[in-house]
Amino acid sequence: MADNDGPFARSTAVRRRGGGDAAARTTGTDATPGTTVYDTMIVDGWDIGGNANGGYLLAIVGRAMADHLGRPDPVTVTAHYLSPGQPGDATVEVTTIREGRRFATARADLVMGGTVITTLGTFGDLSDGEGALRVDAAPPALPPVQECTAMDDREGFPPSFMDRVDLRLHPDDAGFARGEPSGEARVRGWFRFPGDEPVDTTGLLCVLDAFPPTVFNAELPVAWVPTIEFTAHVRARPAPGWLACEFTTRFVTGGFLEEDGVVWDATGTLVAQSRQLALVPRAG
C-alpha cells in the first residue's frame, strides 16, 4: 500500500476483490487457491502513444504483490510484457511461490482481457539498510536541475506520460528531441514526481522506465521501443529529493537492444538498477 495519497499513488492503487482497500493480506474471490485478485485501473495519461508506460504498469503490479506478500519493498522484479496496456479497468492476480523469514516471492499477472504482463518478484523490508558496503561507481555528473532540459510538451513531443512526471535531461542528452542526437546511446537526468510526491520503492519501478530510450541518441529511428523483458533491482529506500538517473545501451543486434539503468537518491545512495530487453524501433 502506498504511503502517500499523491497522483502517482492514486494512479497505481489496487483493491482486493471482495471489498476493502489493499491494507491486509487475504484471498480474493474468483481465484485459484492461494491467489489474491486485485481490481485496479490503468489511468489515462500514463501512456506513450496510447499504450501505458511499462514502468507505470509494473508499479501497479508491485503494489498488489507487496500487499499480498505482506512485505513492503520490491527487491527484484522481472516482468515479461505480452500485450499493450491501455486505459481502463484491469485486475492483478497474485500467487505466493515461497515465503521465508526475510523474503517472499510471488507470481503476478496484470490482466485486461488477456494478460498484459506476467511477473515474478521477491519482496522484503529494506528499512534497515545494514550490510557490507562497496560501491565502485558514482552518480552521473549532472548540471543543476534548473540548467537541465525539462521534458514538457513542446510541439507535440514528448508523449503524455511526461506530463505525469518531472523529468529533466542533461543538456548533452536532450538534442534528439530537435533532431540532433548526441551519437552516444546514453540518457542522463533528474527525476521526481510533480508536487514533491515521495518516490517509494514501488515508485522506483516507474522511475526505471521513465526516461526516453537511449537509442534516440544513437541516430536510430525515434519511435516506440517495445519492451520484451524488464528486470528491476531495488537496493534501498530513496531519501526525499531529486533522483539522479543514467541509462546506457552497449549492444544493438538482431533487432534487439538492452538498456541498463542506475538510480541514485539525493544523498548519493544507489537505490535501484534495471536491465531491459527491447525491440529496436523501425523507421517509418
Residue located via cell numbers 542506475: 262
**pLDDT tens-digit profile of 45-74?**
998 888 899 999 999 999 999 999 999 999
Q: 98 is written with which cell numbers?
A: 515461497
At residue 7, what are phi and psi to the nearest 5 degrees?
A: -55, -40
- Please name each of the domains of the chain with its CATH number: 7-124 (3.10.129.10), 145-279 (2.40.160.210)
Q: What confidence score (pLDDT) does residue 25 get? A: 41
Instruction: State the first-to-last Cα distance of the chain, in angstroms, to the nearest integer.
Output: 42
Kindly report the pTM of this predicted structure. 0.91
SS3 of 249, please?
A: coil
What is the per-residue pLDDT across 103-156, written as a single tens digit (0 to 9) for each? Answer: 999 999 999 999 999 999 999 999 977 777 888 889 999 999 999 999 865 544
Residue 166 is predicted with a pLDDT of: 94
pLDDT of residue 29 exceeding 70, the answer is no
Share of the chain above pLDDT 70, in %: 89
Answer yes or no: is pLDDT of 264 > 80: yes
Q: How confident is the model over 212-222, as a mean pLDDT?
A: 83
Average pLDDT of the chain to the nearest whole number? 89
Neighbours of 23 (CB within 10 A): 10
pLDDT, position 20: 46
Q: Provide the pLDDT for residue 24.
A: 36
Q: What pLDDT shows up at residue 22?
A: 43
pLDDT at 134: 83
Cα separation, 179 vs 216, in Å, equals 9
- pLDDT grade for 19, boundaries at 50, 70 and 90: low
Candidates 257, 196, 162; CA nearest to 174 is 162
User: Whole-angstrom Cα distance, residue 182 to residue 173?
Assistant: 6
Q: How far apart are CA 19 and CA 97, in angstroms?
A: 24
